[in-house]
Amino acid sequence: MHNLNGVNFLPFVGEKYYNSRYGVRVLVLGESHYGSEEDNYADFTQRVIRDYAYRPGFAFFSKLTNVLRGRTDWPSDEERHETWQHVAFYNFVQEFVAVEPRVAPTEAMWREAQAPFLNVVRELKPDVILVLGSRLWNNVDELPPTFPVEWCGIIHPSGGMSYESSIHSLSESLCKVGGLL
């Protein structure tokens, strides 16, 4: 990663992101991290993916893995790991919002996150950005369209997400840019 000014939590980039099974590059965009200052290190996002997305027991990542797979059956650990190798994941807000989840970012946090996010997009050049949740969607939908990208918003996996509509939305967005789910 070369020009990621302002990025505190480096994005996770799967080994097959640039040659994904979708035929296009997919960036999964989460809202924020929660933690304490002793957890504030550059590879925090990468460790979260490695520690929580690759194994069962974490509803957010299990649901998101299924959306990315386009299937709702229970994935094996190997399927989980393989799924995440085809995407990148980045959390928009670049500082801990709170120690505990379910706290909204402040207006200042949203503003300060814009420039680092645009740097990540310039670096990773995604074709599709999968936005997780309406609060995040409402804060990224006014960003300047300085790059060609297909935006896809779904309900947050922890907030009542439906597999059917989420898989359909992602599939539709992939199709628009020449990819397949």
Three-state SS across 21-53? CCCCCEEEEECCCCCCHHHCCCCHHHHHHHHHH
Helices and strands in the chain, H and E counts: 6, 5
Q: Are strands 88-91 and 12-13 parallel, antiparallel or unpaired?
A: antiparallel
Q: In Å, what is the CA distance from 103 to each residue of 33, 36, 58, 71?
A: 10, 14, 19, 30
Kindly report the pTM of this predicted structure: 0.95
What was the pLDDT predicted at 15?
98
What was the pLDDT predicted at 145?
62
Nearest-angstrom CA–CA distance, 90 and 45:
7
Residue 92 pLDDT > 70: yes
Residue 1 pLDDT > 70: no
Share of the chain above pLDDT 70, in %: 97
> Which two structure tokens, joined as six digits, stand for 25?
């590059």
**More confident call, 52 vs 101:** 52
What was the pLDDT predicted at 100?
86
Residue 39 pLDDT > 90: no
Q: Given the structure tokens 């997009």, which residue do they identify?
A: 121
Question: Considering all CA atoms of the chain, what is the largest pairwise distance in Å, rounded to the nearest integer?
Answer: 43
What was the pLDDT predicted at 4?
86
Mean pLDDT of 59-88: 96
Residue 30 pLDDT > 70: yes
Nearest to 68 by CA among 176, 178, 173: 173
Mean pLDDT of 93-109: 92
pLDDT band with cut points at 50, 70 and 90 for residue 137: very high
What was the pLDDT predicted at 2?
65
For 45-72, the pLDDT digits (tens) are 999 999 999 999 999 999 999 999 999 9
What was the pLDDT predicted at 5?
83
Across the strands, what pairs with 128? 26, 150
> Which two structure tokens, joined as six digits, stand for 94?
């670049």
Nearest-angstrom CA–CA distance, 104 and 32:
9
Across the strands, what pairs with 26? 128
Nearest to 126 by CA among 45, 48, 29, 42: 29
Top CATH class, 12-176: alpha beta
pLDDT band with cut points at 50, 70 and 90 for residue 101: confident
Neighbours of 152 (CB within 10 A): 21
Residue 143 pLDDT > 80: no
The conformation of residue 17, written as its DSSP 8-state character, comes to G
Round to the nearest angstrom and report the end-to-end CA distance of the chain: 27
